[in-house]
A = this chain, B = another copy of it.
């Protein structure tokens, strides 16, 4: 008999489904974590596929849950949403020395840190890839079909985790992702601290480098607003476009005229992303 590892902190009805916040003790991150899940109405009587959503800098699981309006389309499409936090948490977890928003708490960058003092807790890559799916698939009505998406730092995380693990994710999408973190200020700061100075170790966490080397990537959809203040210096969408062209992977990389980096942008296009994932998730289901 297994013992439940997830503690339900709250549950609210939304669009006929269940918006639930869980807490649990993470073995990978060595701390207490919280995350949110939306279970669509269909999950009441069958196992459903899940879209993992990785949030951006400063966020926790509440931002996407409250602001994206994703539950409406997820309820229609029969998709669960799995919405983790963006870093390990707690008083024992080291933070940026100056409390900056772009490193440390709220800024795990979805890597496995190798450097002190970060390596004990900052193992977000393994948390998202292994621990969290195992937990939710053991205790919730999910099948093992997964897609992955995210915003900004989380768009980077979705692309990197998805491209490195194509057997685990049917499709990948991103809003305003950090496309080339080895070549932007946010990425260089985070990677130098979490991973150290050997830049060859950074490459496995750079979506543009990964896509360029990929022979056959899964379906990918990326949306980027043209009025996004971070586009030129931090996001480097052009690097991802170049890698896509060079590798002939056929990722859809779209510029949305006039949209910025905010949740209004995400809310506007999240339905298209969920339909994209649903198409890829259900295609195998329906055979």
* Residues of chain A having any CB pair with chain B under 8 Å: 12-16, 19, 66-67, 69, 71-72, 225, 227, 258-260, 262-265, 267-268
Please indicate the chain B residues that have their CB under 8 angstroms from the CB of A267 in the complex: 14-15, 69, 71-72
Please indicate the chain B residues that have their CB under 8 angstroms from the CB of A66 in the complex: 66-67, 263
Please indicate the chain B residues that have their CB under 8 angstroms from the CB of A71 in the complex: 264, 267
Bound together, the chains give a CA A268 to CA B227 distance in angstroms of 30
Count of chain copies: 2
Chain B, residue nearest A13 (CB): B258
Please indicate the chain B residues that have their CB under 8 angstroms from the CB of A264 in the complex: 12-14, 19, 71
Supplied contacts A16-B268, A69-B69, 14 more A-B pairs, CB within 8 Å: A12-B262, A12-B264, A12-B265, A13-B258, A13-B260, A13-B268, A14-B267, A14-B268, A15-B267, A15-B268, A66-B67, A66-B263, A67-B67, A72-B267
Bound together, the chains give a CA A264 to CA B81 distance in angstroms of 15
Nearest Cβ on chain B to A104's Cβ, whole angstroms: 26
A–B Cβ pairs within 8 angstroms, 22 of them: A12-B262, A12-B264, A13-B227, A13-B258, A13-B260, A13-B265, A13-B268, A14-B265, A14-B267, A14-B268, A15-B267, A15-B268, A16-B268, A19-B264, A66-B67, A67-B67, A69-B69, A69-B72, A69-B267, A71-B267, A72-B267, A72-B268
Nearest Cβ on chain B to A273's Cβ, whole angstroms: 14
Q: Taking chain A's interface residues, is the majority helix, strand, or loop, or is none over half, making it mixed?
A: mixed
Bound together, the chains give a CA A15 to CA B69 distance in angstroms of 12
Please indicate the chain B residues that have their CB under 8 angstroms from the CB of A268 in the complex: 13-16, 72
Please indicate the chain B residues that have their CB under 8 angstroms from the CB of A259 in the complex: 13
Nearest Cβ on chain B to A138's Cβ, whole angstroms: 26
Bound together, the chains give a CA A262 to CA B268 distance in angstroms of 22
Please indicate the chain B residues that have their CB under 8 angstroms from the CB of A16 in the complex: 268
Bound together, the chains give a CA A267 to CA B270 distance in angstroms of 15
Bound together, the chains give a CA A263 to CA B264 distance in angstroms of 16
Nearest Cβ on chain B to A23's Cβ, whole angstroms: 19
